[in-house]
Chains A and B, each alone.
Chain A
Amino acid sequence: MRQPLLKVEHLTTRFSVRSGRLFGKALSLTAVDDVSFTLNAGETLGIVGESGSGKSTLGRSVLRLVEAQAGSVVWQGGDLLRLSDEDMRKARRDMQIIFQDPLASLDPRMTVADIIAEPLQIAEPGLTRAQRLEEVQKIMAAVGLAPEMVNRYPHEFSGGQAQRIGIARAIITKPKLVVCDEPVSALDVSIQAQIIQLLNRLRAELDLALIFISHDLSVVRLVCDRVMVLYLGRVVETGPSAEVFGQPKHPYSQALLSAVPLPDPKLARLRQRVILQGDPPSPINPPSGCVFRTRCVYAKDVCAAERPVLKGGEHEAACHFAGRLAKNGEPEMLNSSANA
Chain B
Amino acid sequence: MTAPLLEFKDYSVHFATPEGDVPAVGRLNLSIKPGERLAIVGESGSGKSQTFLGALGLLARNGKTSGEANFEGRNMVGMRAADLDTIRGSAVTMVFQDPMTALNPVLRISRQLTEIVEVHTGATNAEASRQALGMLAKVGIPDPEKRFNVYPHELSGGMRQRVVIAMALLNRPKLLIADEPTTALDVTVQAQILDLFRNLTSELGAALVIITHDMGVVAGIADRVGVMYGGRLVEEAPVDDIFENPQHPYTRALLSSIPRPDRPVSEMQAIPGRPPNLLRLPQGCAFNPRCPARTDLCVTARPELLPMGVGRRSACFNPVGTNVEVAA
Binding site for B on A (CB under 8 A): 50-51, 158, 160, 188-194, 196-197, 200, 215-219, 221-223, 245, 255-256, 258-268, 273, 275-279
Contact = CB atoms under 8 A, between A and B. Distances in A.
Contact of A193 (B194, B239, B269): B269
A340 B270 CA distance: 50
Contact of B220 (A51, A197, A268, A276): A268
Contact of A189 (B188, B213, B260): B213
A158 B268 CA distance: 22
Nearest to B255: A263
B216 A279 contact: no
Interface of B: 43-44, 142, 156-159, 186-192, 194-195, 213-220, 222, 239-240, 243, 253-255, 257-261, 263-265, 268-272, 274-275
Nearest to B220: A268
Contact of B187 (A215, A262, A267): A215
A317 to B, nearest CB: 18
Contacts of B214: 189, 261
B220 to A, nearest CB: 4
Contacts of A268: 216, 219-220
Nearest to B184: A51
Contacts of A192: 257-259
A264 B217 CA distance: 10
19 contacts: A50-B187, A51-B157, A51-B186, A188-B274, A189-B214, A189-B257, A193-B259, A194-B272, A196-B259, A217-B187, A218-B259, A219-B259, A260-B216, A263-B219, A265-B219, A265-B243, A276-B188, A276-B192, A279-B189
B130 to A, nearest CB: 25
A216 B188 CA distance: 12
Nearest to A50: B186
A278 B158 CA distance: 8
B265 A200 contact: yes
Nearest to B261: A221
B220 A262 contact: yes
B274 A245 contact: no
A11 to B, nearest CB: 23
Contacts of A194: 270-272
Given A188-B213, A188-B275, 7 more contacts: A189-B214, A215-B186, A222-B263, A256-B188, A263-B255, A275-B191, A275-B195
A190 B270 contact: yes
Contacts of A267: 219
A182 to B, nearest CB: 13
A29 to B, nearest CB: 16
A275 B192 contact: yes
Contacts of A158: 274
Contacts of A191: 270-271, 274
Given A188-B43, A264-B243, A266-B240, A193 B268 contact: yes
A255 B213 CA distance: 23
Nearest to B44: A188
Nearest to A160: B274
B259 A222 contact: yes
Nearest to A278: B142
B196 to A, nearest CB: 10
B257 A193 contact: yes
B315 to A, nearest CB: 18
Contacts of B189: 50, 279
A277 B195 CA distance: 12
Contact of A190 (B157, B188, B271): B271
Contact of A263 (B215, B268, B269, B272): B215
Contacts of B195: 275
Given A193-B269, A215-B187, A268-B219, A263 B43 contact: no
A38 to B, nearest CB: 24
Contacts of A265: 218-220, 222, 239-240, 243
A193 B257 CA distance: 6
A189 to B, nearest CB: 5
Contact of A223 (B191, B261, B265): B265
Contacts of B43: 188-190
A219 B216 CA distance: 13
B156 A279 contact: yes
Given A200-B265, A265-B240, A279-B159, A190 B275 contact: yes
Contacts of B192: 275-277
B203 to A, nearest CB: 17
A59 B254 CA distance: 31
Contacts of B271: 190-191, 193-194
B186 A193 contact: no
A256 B261 CA distance: 14
B124 to A, nearest CB: 33
A51 B184 CA distance: 10
Given A190-B274, A273-B191, A218 B186 contact: no
A163 to B, nearest CB: 12
A255 B269 CA distance: 29
Contacts of B216: 218, 260-263, 268
